[in-house]
Amino acid sequence: MLLVSEELARSEDFIKMIYTGIRERELRKAVNMIVTKEKAAEFIKNNQPLLETRPHKFYQLMLNRARETGFVPPSDLLHYFQTTERDADLFLAIYATTEGHDVETRNRFEDEYKAGEIPIVGDNLTQFIGSAIFKEGKMVGTLNGEETRAALILDPTINVEDMLATYEDPLEPKYRIASKVTNGQGLKVKMNLDNSNSRLLG
């Protein structure tokens, strides 16, 4: 894992530092880049898993589960460099934190959070959910879990495996419908752009 603080990721110096960093032979381009809301050192210090003594295994298990639900994107360094070099695309990195925040949680479903917003009870506050958005190598914003899943489904360059999700029941909005999202036949998008209420049709 390569942990980068949000403050550094948003700075003008980040892209210069990351290009310098890849000269290190032990930093593989297949490594996952994670943007942390706090400083990276604080994230590591605050991350105290109770059931796993090996940090790399803990991260691996957390990220595997988050990928099954589409809450985090694949974000290896190679894809970051390729996207930055193309200069016309956005790169999504995993967004994480160990800091909780007081936010309104009523009437919000499991995919409508970003890291730091999930109400947690317990000692380990580590949260992996959502994405940090990079444009031309610099972080410019964030997405929540639902927006991240939609971005992964709509991106033809990402091989989307089965994702577990829930959606609002159109007949009973207070309920959710469990589903498995697959992309077996390729993506077809149809949009209605005729009025100000434009929305994705399918």
Query: pLDDT tens, 93-109?
Result: 999 998 876 555 555 67
Query: b or e along 52-67 (b: 16 or more beta carbons within 10 Å of the residue's beta carbon)?
Result: eeeeeebbeebbeebb
Residue 161 has pLDDT above 80, yes or no: no
pLDDT of residue 36: 93
Domain carrying residue 27: 2-155
Q: What mean pLDDT comes out for the span 22-27?
A: 78
Q: List all residues 6 or more positions away from 71 whose beta carbon is below 8 Å from its beta carbon.
A: 111, 128, 129, 130, 145, 148, 149
Contact 73, 158 (CB under 8 A): yes
**Per-residue confidence at 202, pLDDT binned at 50, 70, 90?**
very low
| Cβ(70)–Cβ(148) below 8 Å | yes
With contact defined as beta carbons under 8 Å apart, do 114 and 167 qualify?
Answer: no
Is 173 domain-assigned? no
Ranking 8-12, 54-58, 92-96, 111-115 by mean pLDDT, the lowest is: 54-58
In a domain, 179, yes or no: no
> 19 lies in a domain?
yes
Task: Confirm whether 127 is domain-assigned.
Answer: yes
Q: How many domains does the chain have?
A: 1
Tell me: pLDDT of 121 over 60: yes
- Mean pLDDT over residues 182-198, rounded? 70
Mean pLDDT for the chain overall: 80
Is residue 28 domain-resident?
A: yes
The stretch 51-61 carries a mean pLDDT of: 72
Residue 198 lies in a domain: no
Percent above pLDDT 70 for the chain: 83
- Taken as a whole, the chain contains a residue count of 202
pLDDT of residue 5: 95
Q: Which neighbouring-strand residues pair with 94? A: 34, 131
pLDDT band for 201, please (50, 70, 90 cuts).
very low
- Give the C-alpha separation, 13 to 132, whole Å: 17
Closest CA to 124 of 63, 43, 7: 43
Tokens read off for 29: 């381009």
Q: How far is CA 19 from CA 60, 119, 127, 186, in A?
A: 25, 37, 28, 34
| 200 is a domain residue | no
User: Does the residue 106 lie in any domain?
Assistant: yes
pLDDT greater than 80 at residue 118: no
The pLDDT-based confidence of 52 (bands split at 50, 70, 90) is low
Provide the pLDDT for residue 139. 95
- pLDDT given at position 197: 56
Specify the higher pLDDT residue, 200 or 169: 169
